[in-house]
Amino acid sequence: MKLLYPLNIKNDFLFTPTPRDFIVTEIPLYEFSGEGEHLILKVRKKELTTWELIGIFARFLGIKNRDIGYAGLKDKYAMTIQYISLPAKFEEKIATFEHDKIKILDTTKHNNKVRVGHLKGNMFELRLKKVLGIQKDKLDSALEWIKEYGIPNYFGVQRFGNDGNNWEEGKKIIEGTMRVNDSKTREFLVGSYQSYLFNSWLSKRIEISLLFEKFSDSEVEGILGIPSGSLEGVKKQKHFFKILNGDMMMHYPFGKVFEAEDLQSESERFFLKDTAPTGLLPGKRASRATGIAGIFEEQFDEEINVDGARRYAWIRVEDIKTRYVMEKAQYELSFILPKGSYATNVVDVLRG
């Protein structure tokens, strides 16, 4: 599936996810108390998935993988720093742990186990290579655009497997033409298909937003084949990503879902970074868009017998910092994204 990005530039640079050029640091949701029955490890890993990391610790301690808590899954092809929890009774034994791809940076205690989602976000540090003068200027310009507008919140390639086709197996499971007995594998594959549908919807909505760069409201209505007056006033919205009647919004960076009724008001709040539109992860108990927004959402909605959800369609990139090393033609970049978001989206927008 081709993912669409809004910048009309072409920027060639080299980015290879390696522990040297790609560092991910987890930002905890809260401060740890320093006491309790759970031991919190701040660990640095490289060339390992989070599942592999957990398995290594579980085998060393002689416990089940499920006894170890984690907040999020981190990239394999990166240097990553994250927090995991395990029973505090292993404090003495863990002090003897050694591994060539894992280093325990710090330990503390807490009352609760670390659980999935218990993080504010992640800080990413990237090194882009073969960045010459004009490319450096393009990157600077693109980052100014990102600071102003943010980026699409696509699911990254990690969600779809090495061949990018996990979603196809997830679809077969939903259609009943494929059976997977392992519940975790089945959940992952179905989630991959939900993610594929979300990405497809987001590409469609970016495609629609791009139309307003060249055409009037009425012309876009004609191109899309929707009733006259449906998009009145949409073109004049300040943000690149256009809000449509019936879009489901959320306060940003967290909050309840609500329907966009007054387009002028909601588009202004979105531009001011107070709210953001959401897309659908199809499934049970998830609210649906209505009106014109619902027409496009239902094209990517399917009956899936798992819980659905709303996901931010557009996110902010915070605390952007850059450093250009001219003699090496390298562009060093760091930024913070909310949990569940992918640094590859920033890279892809920078490429144009």
For 46-81, the pLDDT digits (tens) are 999 999 999 999 999 999 999 999 999 898 999 999
Residue 2 has pLDDT above 80, yes or no: no
Q: Tell me whether residue 7 is in a domain.
A: no
Q: Tell me whether residue 5 is in a domain.
A: no
Task: State the pLDDT at residue 6.
Answer: 78
> Are the C-beta atoms of 55 and 117 separated by less than 8 Å?
no
Q: Tell me whether residue 3 is in a domain.
A: no
Q: What is the mean pLDDT of residues 111-115?
A: 94
List the domain range (segments joined by +) for residue 339.
14-150+317-352
Question: Can you name the residues that pair with 126 across neighbouring β-strands?
Answer: 22, 333
Q: What is the mean pLDDT of residues 235-259?
A: 96
Task: Say whether both 219 and 279 belong to one domain.
Answer: yes
Task: Say whether both 171 and 272 belong to one domain.
Answer: yes
User: Residue 3: pLDDT band by 50, 70, 90 thresholds?
Assistant: confident
Beta strand 248-251 pairing with 275-281 = antiparallel
Which two structure tokens, joined as six digits, stand for 44?
């640095």
Looking up residue 113, the CATH number of its domain turns out to be 3.30.2350.20
Task: Say whether both 199 and 271 belong to one domain.
Answer: yes
Task: Say whether both 82 and 223 belong to one domain.
Answer: no
Task: Say whether both 169 and 118 belong to one domain.
Answer: no
The C-alpha atoms of residue 244 and residue 9 are separated, in whole angstroms, by: 26
Q: Supply the pTM of this predicted model.
A: 0.91
Task: State the pLDDT at residue 224.
Answer: 97
Q: What is the mean pLDDT of residues 330-343?
A: 96
Task: State the pLDDT at residue 1.
Answer: 65
Task: State the pLDDT at residue 123.
Answer: 98
* Known catalytic membership, residue 163: no
Catalytic-role residue among 12, 21, 67, 75? 75
Q: How many domains does the chain have?
A: 2
Which residue would you say has higher pLDDT here, 239 or 183? 239
Residue 93 has pLDDT above 80, yes or no: yes
Q: Tell me whether residue 294 is in a domain.
A: yes
Task: Say whether both 165 and 301 belong to one domain.
Answer: yes
For 204-220, the pLDDT digits (tens) are 999 999 999 999 999 99
Mean residue pLDDT of the chain comes to 94
Share of the chain above pLDDT 70, in %: 99
Task: State the pLDDT at residue 19.
Answer: 95
Q: Tell me whether residue 118 is in a domain.
A: yes
Share of the chain above pLDDT 90, in %: 88
Task: State the pLDDT at residue 11.
Answer: 81
Task: Say whether both 136 and 169 belong to one domain.
Answer: no
Q: Tell me whether residue 202 is in a domain.
A: yes
Q: Tell me whether residue 6 is in a domain.
A: no
Residue 10 has pLDDT above 90, yes or no: no
> Are the C-beta atoms of 189 and 173 separated by less than 8 Å?
yes
Task: Say whether both 126 and 77 belong to one domain.
Answer: yes
Task: State the pLDDT at residue 261.
Answer: 87
Task: Say whether both 19 and 111 belong to one domain.
Answer: yes
Task: Say whether both 215 and 245 belong to one domain.
Answer: yes
Q: Count Cβ atoms below 10 Å from residue 94 Cβ, excluding itself.
A: 16
Residue 171 has pLDDT above 80, yes or no: yes
Task: State the pLDDT at residue 12.
Answer: 85
The C-alpha atoms of residue 301 and residue 67 are separated, in whole angstroms, by: 36
61-77-112 Cα angle (round to 5): 40
Q: What is the mean pLDDT of residues 248-257?
A: 94
Looking up residue 239, the CATH number of its domain turns out to be 3.30.2340.10
Task: Say whether both 38 and 75 belong to one domain.
Answer: yes
For 300-329, the pLDDT digits (tens) are 999 999 999 999 999 999 999 999 999 999
User: Residue 177: pLDDT band by 50, 70, 90 thresholds?
Assistant: very high
Task: Say whether both 42 and 21 belong to one domain.
Answer: yes
User: Residue 158: pLDDT band by 50, 70, 90 thresholds?
Assistant: confident
CA nearest neighbour of 206 among 4, 2, 351, 1: 4
> Are the C-beta atoms of 86 and 43 separated by less than 8 Å?
no
User: Residue 164: pLDDT band by 50, 70, 90 thresholds?
Assistant: confident
